[in-house]
With several copies, the nearest count.
Chain A
Amino acid sequence: MREITLSQAVNEALAEEMRRDPTTFIMGEDVAEAGTPFKVLSGLVEEFGTDRVIDTPIAEPGFMGMAVGAAMTGARPIVDLMFGDFIFLIMDQLCNQAAKTHYMSGGKLNVPLVLRTNLGATRRSAAQHSQSLQALVAHIPGLKVAMPSSAYEAKGLMKTAIRDNNPVVIFEDKLMYQDKAPVPEEEYLIPFGVANVKREGSDITLIATSSMVQVAEKAAEMLAAEGISAEVIDPRTIVPLDEEALLKSVRKTSRAIVIDEGHQSYGVTAEIASRLNEKAFYHLDAPVLRMGAMDVPVPFSPALEDITVPTPEGVAENARKLCAGEMIHAA
């Protein structure tokens, strides 16, 4: 199969859906001629024109609000938010308006929009350009949250997101834009709420999102060399969450580590670990471990930044201990 970059995959998904549905359009900062600073949208304005690839002023709350209004009245806006960290600026429009409109209107108004943004540290971009804020939006009923872990997922989830009748937030890993993966030429969609078993295993389950899937896969390789068989699962969407697939794996392996690049405390790993503990408790041979980013603002200095996020070595180390029956934190 041909291999394309995550950036190309997103670009293809957008182009295909924009060809398919004339009510779709993109808005955001420097999305047109510049094709965004990450160049993910290059070429789209040439095909679709400035009416459908709209450069906005630097007014995130404003254009997010406008996307809500356009969505409520018959369009399908795709909002480009340059850095995931700027989500703090648009929380009101996203969480008080977009997320609640369908419910508050008793099902009469729909808000079919996609918010494309990103996550990921270790790019030397410091505390306001490196956050992974998926936990915040996952907490708000009415929002769906997708976290593609490769070009393949990026394309399939984006297409599903654009056709969904609800507000969907997609976090792309900004460090993976140039990573290649096999992506079919034929059209495909990836349904929401269906986890993907990236690697089968029997001793321990590694549940990882987005950027952390690679980390988990590398850890699994390391573990395999030592005779530990790790299963790697990517939930692909955290809302809806494919609880059954995760439970099934954990019931089989009896051990799990949940890995996500957001801050650990009050983060995504807590929800997933809690559900496993609640619903697979009697199958567990060890506590479900969580590995998120450290609870510190992301430091600029390379000497510090790299130690704030989970690494393959760290995951393997924890997996080894869990499998050896060491009660890592237990009293």
Chain B
Amino acid sequence: MSPAKKAKTNTEDYLRMYRQMVRIRSFEDNANQLYLSAKMPGLTHMYSGEEAVAVGICEALTDSDRITSTHRGHGHCVAKGAEFKEMFCELLGKEEGYCRGKGGSMHIADQSHGNLGANAIVGGSMGIATGSALRAKLQGSDDVTVCFFGDGATAQGLLYEVMNMAALWNLPVIYACENNGYSEYTKTEEIAAGSITARAEAFGIEAHQVDGQDVLAVNDLTQKLVARARKGEGPFFIELMTYRYHGHHVGDINREYYRSKAEEKDWKENRDPITRFRHFLVQEGIASEDEIEAINAEVEKDAADAVEYALAAKYPDVSEVDMHVFAD
């Protein structure tokens, strides 16, 4: 159960990964609080518990590499380099949000760091990610695109259409299936027949399954696959075994009818990606408990400041309502 030993050894990288995971957790805790205190419009889907997936993968990417994200997209957004302020502004529908408040949680995008956006259509970004990879290949660019999606999204036929083309044309795309055991209120085994990795393999795509709670294992694997994809050896498929701590969305509070509290407790207490990585960092002498606490405190403060800023920020002017329907 300890993180893979043979991954990166660079202290700075490790601490950044740790910090990024904490940033995601902290972002989500604040977002949840905003919802519970009725300060956030609409609903949102928490990424808490899955931090090692987004961070392990995105830390293997550069800003010119692209990702496509999902309805559960805050984690991907943070991991790909986004700022709290613009993110909270977006969640609150404010003008300074990444999308000027027009997208909200389910459509948050961060063009500057290569995040092509969350998507409220389950599976909706599979074509987009694969098309980004096609563009890279056609233009002789060596960037790689990672397509995030959930276990539930594997039921969408679009995945098989684009995997077929990605395989035929050796596109630099990595399909990252975040298998958190559930799609909404249904267990994965009730909606997915056979084997998820075998489905990719049937198209001739190399597929891996990895512990999604182990940030170094995820990062190690992704680094290797990204390097190979850059050389034209793609596409690849990764199934990341993970868990979401909250309900399907912030409003999904009473959920014992589809999963037990004991199960949730087990994942939180025994497999938490942040706790595990923290233990590893301390054990290996990479950081002291004090240094870790300092990071945590700093992130917490950043988040609180950003929330405060966003709450006070202004809404877009009503004249913006029919701007951006068409680009010039």
Contacts and interface: CB of A to CB of B under 8 A. Distances in A.
Contact flag (A, B; Cβ within 8 A): yes
A184 B219 CA distance: 58
A88 B44 CA distance: 23
Contact of A29 (B129, B184, B321, B327): B184
B316 interface: yes
Interface stretch (A227-235, A272-280, A289-297, A322-330): A289-297
B131 A300 contact: no
Contacts of A155: none
Interface stretch (B6-14, B133-141, B266-274, B279-287): B133-141
Contact of A69 (B104, B132, B164): B132
A65 B130 CA distance: 8
A307 B321 contact: yes
Contacts of B93: 124, 300-304
B318 A303 contact: yes
A317 to B, nearest CB: 17
A323 B105 CA distance: 44
B121 A128 contact: yes
Contacts of B323: 107
Interface residues of A, number: 72
Interface stretch (B48-56, B76-84, B151-159, B298-306): B151-159
Given A57-B191, A66-B134, A109-B109, A141 B117 contact: no
B133 to A, nearest CB: 8
B250 interface: no
Interface stretch (B95-103, B194-202, B207-215, B231-239): B95-103
28 contacts: A30-B184, A55-B190, A56-B191, A57-B165, A58-B153, A58-B155, A62-B162, A65-B130, A68-B131, A75-B138, A75-B139, A103-B324, A105-B117, A106-B97, A106-B100, A108-B111, A109-B111, A124-B42, A126-B103, A127-B107, A142-B325, A294-B322, A297-B102, A300-B41, A301-B41, A303-B93, A304-B318, A304-B321
Interface of B: 41-43, 66, 68, 93-94, 97-107, 109, 111, 116-117, 119-136, 138-139, 145, 152-153, 155-158, 161-162, 164-165, 168, 183-186, 190-192, 257-258, 315-316, 318, 320-328
